[in-house]
Structure 1
Amino acid sequence: MKRLFSLLLAISFMLIGIASIHSSHASTEDDVHFTVVFEKEKIPKNANELIIGLGGEIVDTIPEIGVIQVKAPSEFGFEATKDKAIKVASPTLVIENPELETIPMETEKTETTGKMEKNNRGDQQEIDVASASLYEQYQWDIKRMTNNGASFEIETGNHDVVVGIIDSGIDLHHPDVTKNLLPGSKNYVPAGGLYGYDQSETGDINDVQDRNGHGTHVAGNIAGNGQILGIAPHIGFKAYRVFAAEGGAYSSWINKAMIDAANDGVDVISMSLGGIYVKGKVYWTNPDTGETYDYGNDVADYVAYMRAAQYANSKGVLVVAAAGNAALNATNKKEVTEFANELYDDYGYHFVGASFYTPASVPNIVTVSATGPTDELSLYSNYGSGFVDVAGVGGDYRTFLQYSEEDRVDEYIENQLYADEFNLSSVPVVEYEYNDNGTIKDYKYLYPGYSWYIGTSMATPKVSAVAALLKVKYGDVNPYKLKTLVQNTTEDLGKVGYDEHYGHGFVNAYKALQ
């Protein structure tokens, strides 16, 4: 039997995208989703009456941070901001996975049970490195961040410390990750998925099975324990599924997942995603009518996002987030605004003023840049003084670009050169059944698999795992102290001291635990 290895050559980072009401999946002009942020961080008692009076309908609520999602006519946002109780209201953004170019490779399939293995022990256990054949052969990234496994001799984690992974779910059948999967994972994807066309999505809160792969890949980087190994092979984790097979999610789902993870008592939230927060004028043009609306100085989704991150901090949770994959100096506000306008122009948005990547501007967040096999900043990684906190291995594609420019991609693949610069981790192998119109009718789980990804998405979970190990070592430390521990136990790369590429330095589990 053969197992399909997928080499994902595009950067695997959940880049903020935006789907306007005029997207291919959109409905009518009267079916616009808005994010509404109230002035106070609670929902007023008369919120329903207020929204109905403005011609809208509440479809989702996040009471802990004073945020709701509303379905209403396109002029709703402009009218809503006139009310003193409402801070900002604008069309809801959609966070998207980028399109991934995949090159399949065949290799011998490793026999697995194909069943979820439950192991909720909280005690330290030995790691069988000799049996982790894929770790030994391919996981140069994990070896780099553990000093060739030396950190495993000090600490591998336990189930008393928990990482909340906000992503595309988890492969419930993958033996490399289910050993550390704890009860309490949740699904936020509603029936029909993002656009209502995915019939495999029923809205079951307990349906956390990964259809996409990204979430299981992230989990393997954190807590893999089988053919692959993660940085913390015995740490507990919960999966908060916000991405479906189609790869998109309303930002409100992500904010709710952050709130729930914090309320569930996780210690670290790992988020391989991020966005752009605009301070200045925000304009939106209705693609159906051509009418332009002035939505004030903020994008509602990012105000809500920052509130959610601050709420998590207040509950004692450290949030670790990706720096992003646009190769931008994220502290150059003009450059970020230009990038935002280029990215969002087709969807009706135009920004004037300063823009920031979030959640880097939120206190007690750890923002992670990515490095490649030679410790250089990855070609795609965002950077910036005061923006990046630390760096971790995310892989790179320097060799791939060289071979691509020389028209030698086949040689690159044949010689498995990707194994020296991409990151291998766990994924589910699934196939989809489609309707005649190309929408998903159902999916079939085939078997647990592995894939190579690159991106700050891969660096972030590794740093999250080190933060969790430090939490195991030092016990009841608050997010500020835990962030300080992560920063102060790094390797110094680049310029001496803090610099714009690596922040406070490169995170190494062995050095941190010493």
Structure 2
Amino acid sequence: MAHPRSRRMRALAVPLGLALTASLGFLPNAATAASQDAAPAAAVSTDGPLLSYVVNTTPGHAAVGKVKKAIAKAGGKVITAHEQIGVIVVHSANPGFAESIRTVRGVQSAGATRTAPLKASGTTDIGKPQKVELPKAQLKAAGAAAKAEGKEPLEPLQWDIPAIKADKAAKVNPGSKKVTVAIIDTGVDDTHPDLKANFSARQSANCVGGVANTAKGSWRPYDPENDYHGTHVAGTIAAARNGVGVSGVAPGVKISAIKVSEPETSLFYAESVVCAFVFAADHGVEVTNNSYYVDPWMFNCKDDADQAAIIDAVGRAAKYAERKGAVNVAAAGNSSLNLAADKLVDTGSPNDSTPVERTVDPKTCWDVPTQLPGTVTVAATGVHKLKSYYSNYGLGTVDVAAPGGDSKQVPELPAKNGNILSTMPGGDWAYLAGTSMASPHVSGVVALIKSAHPKSSPQEIQWLLKQQADNPGCPKDDATCTGTKHVNSHYGYGIIDALDAVKK
């Protein structure tokens, strides 16, 4: 499977899985616009690879219309135009398309969203969950004990739920059905018994390729055996308290699925992510969960015209969702990098062709969408409230922290496993680890805050999230942690608190 946050899940998580077979991871313009209104009329070459591009211009029907004409003259085919944010998705086999279209008046940035031709195949697997049978006696005993305590059958194995007091929060306010969290990911199996009661089909779609498809079931994973990431994220956010399986952080809210991962490769390209943010915004979503980074670049640099256009396009779409009332939550990444460092080495980009080692400056080279302004950036912690060994971090970059799992931090019985247990396609459950697993915990708590404060703006909700977080402070023996007891590089403002979210 591709990266969602580990690489994916790059953020998809670093899935380290143990499935349970139970009966019970925008911008200052990168190109300067010249004075002409259309691309040069010279003969257009079509002997290059067919690539996808984003062309960013002044929002509005008239401005976008003029640029569309120039796109055709430059050898491009418009796939869709998001006029409200001025982002046009284009396919072209003209190797000079981007350079040509950047000279058009009104074009603020433009660039290829991939380095491999359309329909390219290839994988960036991060490992599949390893299915194991729990002893029936142990499973039965755990289920019986949980039922007696008013818990879900597998909840005793979820150390993360009490870690953020989500079990106590559910007794006060499990979340409002008027609040929806959109899971921008590999798709969600909405037929899962732990998910179907809270699933919102009308707010779900398949955005792969950049155009929203709302046909029934289009949002489900292409390949349930490999594209399990979005379903796992969904359970952490809102698995129902229905006497089956696990419990989500906000078991009373709605979830929707906006699929953006390419078939076979599971890559998350900019045109699909732009579509997802716009669709979420236009369909009344209150929270978006983003456990991935936009492919093919782990970091998009503003001094590269193509990568700057990706930042610009995705940034516009994310800001549009925020203006429409959504809080965007994103995983920090699983490379154990200090995102506030002066320099970082990226050895995995581009991940859709041949990676080339490069040194990048995190101040001008961004992990998208996690480093976009206004996004809640989430680091991962383990059962001992220490930063997970794989989690990215950074003072001034990480906003909050949440359970993401850590095989080196082992919980007490009956949980046994230090990773995060949640739903899997086909009615199963599994353990995974990664900042991809931390992000949905935060999305769930954000949904609880929105449920308790329905009239609050995204900015106000973020303020409450940070104010309510509990910061353990930097570990005494960890020199990588910098900052204060209140704000530091490992936890941001602290580890989220679900109980405070519904009581304060």
Q: CA 1:352–1:310 in structure 2 vs 1: closer, same or farther (change >3 Å)?
A: same
In structure 2, runs of 5+ residues without a counterpart are 13-45, 117-121, 137-146, 475-484
Quote the residue 2:488 is aligned against: 499
Contact kept in structure 1, 2:203 and 2:283, CA below 8 Å? no
Give the direction of change, closer, same or farther, for the CA distance of 1:189–1:482 in structure 2 (3 Å limit): closer
Q: CA deviation at 1:129?
A: 5.9
Task: Verify: 1:266 aligned to 2:285, yes or no.
Answer: yes
1:164 maps onto 2:182 in alignment? yes
Residues 221 and 231 in structure 1, CA contact (< 8 A), matched pair in contact too: yes
Deviation at 1:348, TM superposition (A): 7.4
Tell me how far apart the structure 2 counterparts of residues 47 and 399 of structure 1 sit (CA, whole Å): 54
Distance across 2 between alignment mates of 1:129 and 1:185: 35
- Matched-pair contact (CA < 8 Å) for 2:347–2:358: no
Q: Hey, what does 1:346 align to over in structure 2? A: 354
The amino acid that maps onto 2:107 is I
TM-score w.r.t. the length of structure 1 is: 0.74
Task: Give 1:407-486 correspondences, 5 Å limit.
Answer: 419-428=416-425, 447-486=426-465
CA distance in 1, matches of 2:333, 2:98: 29
Superposition deviation, residue 213 in structure 1: 1.1
What does residue 153 of structure 2 align with?
133
> Is contact 1:58–1:71 with CA below 8 Å preserved after alignment?
yes
Relative to structure 1, is the Cα distance of residues 103 and 512 closer, same or farther in structure 2, using a 3 angstrom cutoff?
closer
Q: Does 1:379 align with 2:379?
A: no
1:67 aligns with 2:75: no
**Which of 407, 414, 430 is equivalent to 1:397?**
407
Aligned to 1:15: 10
Give the AA of the match of 1:346: T
Question: Does structure 2 retain, via aligned residues, the 8 Å contact 1:277–1:302?
Answer: no
CA positional deviation for 1:477: 0.3
Equivalent of 2:320 in 303, 307, 311:
311
Change (3 A) 1:469 1:360: same
SS at match of 2:354: helix
Q: How does 1:137-152 map to 2 (within 5 A)?
A: 138-146=157-165, 149-152=167-170
Shift of 1:93: 3.4
Q: Is the 8 A contact 2:250 2:445 kept in 1?
A: yes
Residue 427 of structure 1 aligns with an amino acid whose one-letter code is M
Q: Verify: 1:57 aligned to 2:92, yes or no.
A: no
- CA positional deviation for 1:492: 1.3
- 2:220 aligned residue: 209
Q: Hey, what's the Cα distance between the residues in 2 that align with 1:176 and 1:203?
A: 22
Matched to 1:494, the amino acid is G
Q: Do the aligned partners of 2:158 and 2:420 also contact (CA within 8 Å) in 1?
A: yes
Letter paired with 1:224? A
CA apart distance, 1:347? 5.3
Corresponding residue for 2:201?
Answer: 183
- Tell me, which stretches of 5 or more residues in structure 1 are unaligned? 1-5, 18-26, 111-126, 195-201, 283-294, 401-414, 429-446
- Residues 61-84 of structure 1 show CA distances to partners (whole Å, capped at 9, x for unaligned) of 222211112222121111221223
CA 1:280–1:318: 2 relative to 1, 3 Å = closer
Q: Which deviations, in whole Å up to 9, do the C-alpha atoms of 1:297-332 show, x marking residues without a partner?
A: x53112111111111111111111111111111122
Please list, as runs of the form range in 1=range in 2, the aligned pairs for 1:101-120 lying within 5 A after superposition: 101-102=127-128, 104-107=130-133
User: In 1, are the aligned partners of 2:380 and 2:435 still within 8 Å (CA)?
Assistant: yes
Quote the residue 2:98 is aligned against: 77
Q: CA deviation at 1:281?
A: 2.9
Q: SS in structure 1 opposite 2:246?
A: coil
State TM-score, norm by structure 2: 0.76
In structure 2, relative to structure 1, the CA distance for the partners of 1:82 and 1:205 (3 Å cut) is farther
Task: Find the aligned partners of 1:12 and 1:81 in 2 and give their Cα distance.
Answer: 31
Residues 180 and 383 (structure 1), Cα distance of their counterparts in 2 relative to 1, 3 Å cut: same
Instruction: Say how many residue pairs are matched.
Output: 425
What's the CA shift string for 1:184-204, capped at 9, x where partnerless? 1433355xx89xxxxxxx994
Q: Select which of 303, 306, 324 maps to 1:281.
A: 303
Displacement of 1:244? 5.0
Q: Distance in 2 between matches of 1:128 and 1:307?
A: 49
Q: Which amino acid aligns with 2:276?
A: A
Question: 1:14 is matched by which residue type in structure 2?
Answer: M
Distance 1:349 1:49 in 2: 38
Residues in 2 aligned to 1:374 and 1:351: alpha-carbon distance in whole angstroms: 33
Task: Quickly say closer, same or farther: Cα 1:497–1:248, change in 2 above 3 A.
Answer: same
Inter-partner Cα distance in structure 1 for 2:11 and 2:354: 14
Contact 1:277 1:299 (8 Å CA) reproduced: no
Q: 1:395 to 1:176 in 2, by over 3 A?
A: same
**1 CA distance for matches of 2:414 and 2:128?**
15
Matched, 1:99 2:147: no
Q: Aligned-pair RMSD on alpha carbons?
A: 3.5
Q: Give the Cα–Cα distance (whole angstroms) in 2 for the partners of residues 33 and 207 of structure 1.
A: 22
Distance 1:205 1:174, change over 3 A: closer
Distance 1:28 1:128, change over 3 A: farther
Structure 1 residue 421 displacement after superposition: 1.1
In 2, the alpha carbon distance for the partners of 1:349 and 1:85 equals 34
